Structure 1
Amino acid sequence: MSNLIHISKATVRHLDKVVFEGLDFTWLEGQHWAVVGNSGAELTAFLETLLGRSMVTAGSINRPFSNAYRNQMADEGKVNSFRDLIAVVSQQYTFRNKSNLQNFYYQQRFNSMESEEAATVEDFLESIEVKVTGDWSLKRVLQLMRLEELRDKSLIKLSNGETRRLAIAKALMQNPSLLLMDQPLTGLDVQTREDFGGILEEITASGIHLLMTSNPGEIPPCITNVGVLGKKKMAKVFPSSENSKLEFDNEKVNTFEEANLIKLLLPYPLPEYDSIIRLKDVHVRYGDKVILHNVNWEVESGERWSLKGQNGAGKSTLLSLILGENPQAYANEIFLFDRKRGTGESIWDIKKRIGFVAPELGRFFPANQTCLKVVLSGLFDTMGLFKKVSSEQEKLALQWLQYFGLEDTSDKLLSKVSLENQRFILLARALIKKPDLLVLDEASQGMDMMQRRIFKETVNRICELTPVTLIYVSHYVEDIPEVVDREFGL
């Protein structure tokens, strides 16, 4: 078997710090890898190293898989790169409007006229620049990723899981030799996760070599080899048939310092409302597509709920009604905080009472927003900080960053910190105003197993200390905090 990629004794810098020292790794033809580890940031940095987006300051990395292609392109006088043969499915993706001038704003998906500024699924896939021809046509990609019924849907109306499937479809359209996937099961519902093994089987059967980062318990059957990152190197490699070598840490996790959490949260204001949410026969449709039909749900003050449903079931739309972002709320009988929508309240009257965390939020902050500004923006319910704050407010935001051990990120751009740190920063943004309602929508997405447990325990403790009402959305049962004792399904 010939080498595809070979890394030898490499020292690697990524995001201004050394992430690997003495890194060795060999990817041979015919191998499909799952790479696991205790740090989600380290796993992502490993993929960035394979892509040449990190700085190798010692040792070497060679990519012989691309030699024949690059020689051919050079002979034809064409500009080329080994990256022409690699497709990536990351956990961060943004869509721009048809004029390619600006990112969308978060609420735009719910405004039918403005959402037309986004391309459809089919438009998007047809616009992908394909440098290498192959077997993966638009028809085949749509069929494999279950996107046929979504081909005319606006990109910004896609659910989180649908967007993840689209990202995989985009990668396949490039007909790559190597496919790199960063936690590809993230954001997918139970059924799609169960089907995912078959999807990967078809991908690898087409001749594509696969490497994915993964949680230890989610390694699909097509994987032939497993690598374990630890102590800034590839600590262990073995055939996937020996998965028993993976060790699971079931010990109680050490969460953040509770005394500091108490100082930040207490005293917590007592709720002024009996009913936080009351929906009666709620019906939402876009054109001929019915999203929600006769939905009835009541959430009383202090209750802790789990909201469940498959990708595309309408969870995002339901939350948009609750968060005050969907104009169809005015055509329905919806009460928020004991007040019917459309009786004179503003969107800001609603937002000031709600703390919200979702993975896609990070994509909508302006590029110049530091992590400190992001936390401070929670005081004003804006996607970014656009006004001068007091010294007391800035001190409070810094204390939240310090509580999560992220004080060193205060001056860094949100886009430049790791995904797991982004999640805690967004949680700080949600909590800084001590909301009456906390909505966590796949809020620990992008974290590794240990970090997900820490996040879960943190939410448990917040609910034990305060009267906050909670709505928790997750496709992973193990991520739902123990304080959650009610369930609503779509």
Structure 2
Amino acid sequence: METLIRISEATVRFMDQLVFENLDFEWKAGQHWAVVGNSGAELTFFLDTLLGRTMLTQGNIYRPFAQSYQEEKTKAGEVHSFRDLMAEVSQKYSFRNKSNLQNFYYQQRFNSLDSEEAATVFEFLADIEQKHSGAWNLHSVMQFLRLQELGDESLIKLSNGETRRLAIAAALLKNPKILLMDQPLTGLDVQNRDNFDDILKGIKASGIHVILSTHSYEVPQSITHVAMLGEKTIKNIIKREALQAGDFEGVTLDTFDQQHLQRLLLSLEKKTSWEEIVDLKQVYIQYGDKTILDKLNWTIRSGEKWLLKGPNGSGKSTLLSLILGENPQAYANNIWLFGKKRGTGESIWDIKKEIGFVAPELSRFFPGNQTCIKVVLSGLFDTMGLFKKVSPEQEKLAKDWLELFRLSAIAHKLLRQVSLEEQRFVLLARALIKVPSLLVLDEASQGMDEFQCLLFKKTIDQVCQIYPLTMIYVSHYQEDIPVCVDKVFELEPH
């Protein structure tokens, strides 16, 4: 079989970090790969190496799949790269507004006038330059990924699962020879994960070769080969049909210092005086002709830990926006938060000071100049970034939270420069630094590798053992849910 890419005895670095040693890998025509491992950062570095974003200090990487294309372009005197024939679906995608500025703010998706600043799904896809003809065009990708009904929707109003489908559509429009996907199953509900194999089959049938990073327990059936990474190399390669549940050995879980966590959580003597933290009565939310929430009732009492679940598009994000004080339609409904009815004089800041919130997309809304320690400190002021001088005591508190999560080394790195797993724990520190009365975790561990998912879950259980906070935990998957969560509120699709 024809070789597409071959890596031989490579030592690979990214900036000042050694990421691989003695790396050997050969990808042949007809093969479709999954890479799994205990380090999500390592999986991303592997895909980045295929894309040429890392540096080889020893060994070689060959890309025969692009050879004839590059020879043709060289002969024609045109600028070219092997990347012209590759496309990726990254976990760090971001969308810009119509002025090409990434200046969205998180609440903007719930304000109809502001959302007009973002392109629609159709406008975004139509604006992608197609350098190569092939099986995919605007009509076929929208139909294939079920985006027709979202064509007029603002980008910042999309759910996680919808955004993921859009990112795949954008990659396919480039008609690449090779498609790389970093954790493509994140943000998809159970049904859409089950349907993902059909998406892969369609991509493969169009002649595209696929490689994706994922968890070892959810390798799609359409994958032919699995590479298991670890210890800065490929530890094992097996065919997909031979993959067994016991083939992938986990590592010992090293949880965070319980006493350190206890000191931080109990450093603020807070007393919750409310019997009911949230009380929603006959809540009705409608956007245009579409009903999102219909006569919804939900009471959350102090100290309760709830799982909020429901398929993509069932209204989870809208429901959370009401509780977080971000949705203007709250004033037209009978909503009580922390003992006060919305619209009776309380400010959004009165609400936010009692709530800690973590969601994967939050990291996209921080200004680019925000370091990790500034992001943690911003939790004291409920702002998307730090814009005021802090006291030495506040700065020490933020450093203590970063030390707890073993993140001291990245304190002064920009949030966008650190790994996805590190971003999640920075955001968790931001949520916990003020010791909130209500902690809202919206698919907060999605996209993490297997080890980090388990560590995140165990950390939440540690927090709940120490401090009697109230919690809403959003997840599609039973394996992600902490033991302390013992109540369920499920939304049905409309």
Q: Normalising by the residue count of structure 2, what TM-score does the alignment of the two structures yield?
A: 0.97
1:273 partner SS: coil
Matches within 5 A, 1:42-191: 42-191=42-191
**8 Å CA contact 1:161, 1:188 repeated in 2:** yes
Deviation readout 1:104-137 (Å, 9 max, x if unpaired): 1111101100101111111111111111110112
Aligned to 1:288: 289
1:336 Cα deviation (Å)? 0.5
Distance 1:237 1:85, change over 3 A: same
- One-letter code aligned to 1:121: V
Distance 1:282 1:363, change over 3 A: same
Aligned to 1:484: 485
Aligned to 1:451: 452
2:403 partner SS: helix
Distance 1:286 1:248, change over 3 A: same
Aligned to 2:265: 265
Deviation readout 1:131-155 (Å, 9 max, x if unpaired): 1110112222112212121111110
**8 Å CA contact 1:4, 1:64 repeated in 2:** yes
2:384 partner SS: coil
Question: 1: CA distance between counterparts of 2:314 and 2:248?
Answer: 33
Deviation readout 1:352-393 (Å, 9 max, x if unpaired): 000000000000001000000000000000000011111111
Deviation readout 1:290-336 (Å, 9 max, x if unpaired): 22111111101110000001111111111011101111111111110
1:14 Cα deviation (Å)? 1.7
Aligned to 1:201: 201
Matches within 5 A, 1:279-358: 279-358=280-359
Question: 1: CA distance between counterparts of 2:60 and 2:216?
Answer: 28
Question: 2: CA distance between counterparts of 1:324 and 1:413?
Answer: 28
Matches within 5 A, 1:435-474: 435-474=436-475
Deviation readout 1:416-445 (Å, 9 max, x if unpaired): 100001000100000000000000001011
Question: 1: CA distance between counterparts of 2:5 and 2:334?
Answer: 59
- One-letter code aligned to 1:5: I
Aligned to 2:220: 220
- One-letter code aligned to 1:85: L
Question: 2: CA distance between counterparts of 1:293 and 1:360?
Answer: 26
Aligned to 2:26: 26
2:97 partner SS: coil
**8 Å CA contact 1:357, 1:441 repeated in 2:** yes
1:22 Cα deviation (Å)? 1.1
2:112 partner SS: coil
Question: 1: CA distance between counterparts of 2:171 and 2:413?
Answer: 30
1:252 Cα deviation (Å)? 6.8
2:244 partner SS: helix
Structure 2: gaps of 5 or more residues: none
Structure 1: gaps of 5 or more residues: none
Matches within 5 A, 1:336-485: 336-485=337-486
**8 Å CA contact 1:36, 1:228 repeated in 2:** yes
Deviation readout 1:214-245 (Å, 9 max, x if unpaired): 10111111111110111111111121122128
**8 Å CA contact 2:279, 2:299 repeated in 1:** yes
- One-letter code aligned to 2:385: G
2:423 partner SS: helix
Aligned to 2:253: 253
1:74 Cα deviation (Å)? 2.1
Question: 2: CA distance between counterparts of 1:405 and 1:158?
Answer: 33
- One-letter code aligned to 2:391: S
Deviates more, 1:243-252 or 1:4-13: 243-252
Question: 1: CA distance between counterparts of 2:77 and 2:252?
Answer: 59
1:251 Cα deviation (Å)? 7.8
Distance 1:249 1:233, change over 3 A: closer
- One-letter code aligned to 2:438: L
- One-letter code aligned to 2:107: Q
Question: 2: CA distance between counterparts of 1:181 and 1:249?
Answer: 23
Question: 2: CA distance between counterparts of 1:134 and 1:204?
Answer: 13
Question: 2: CA distance between counterparts of 1:179 and 1:103?
Answer: 29
Question: 1: CA distance between counterparts of 2:393 and 2:93?
Answer: 35
**8 Å CA contact 2:251, 2:451 repeated in 1:** no
Question: 1: CA distance between counterparts of 2:7 and 2:75?
Answer: 27
Deviates more, 1:137-146 or 1:295-304: 137-146
Q: Normalising by the residue count of structure 1, what TM-score does the alignment of the two structures yield?
A: 0.98
- One-letter code aligned to 2:153: K
**8 Å CA contact 2:38, 2:250 repeated in 1:** no
Question: 2: CA distance between counterparts of 1:312 and 1:93?
Answer: 20
RMSD (Å) for aligned C-alpha atoms: 1.2
**8 Å CA contact 1:110, 1:157 repeated in 2:** yes
Question: 1: CA distance between counterparts of 2:15 and 2:475?
Answer: 29
**8 Å CA contact 1:112, 1:286 repeated in 2:** no
**8 Å CA contact 1:308, 1:315 repeated in 2:** yes
**8 Å CA contact 1:94, 1:103 repeated in 2:** no
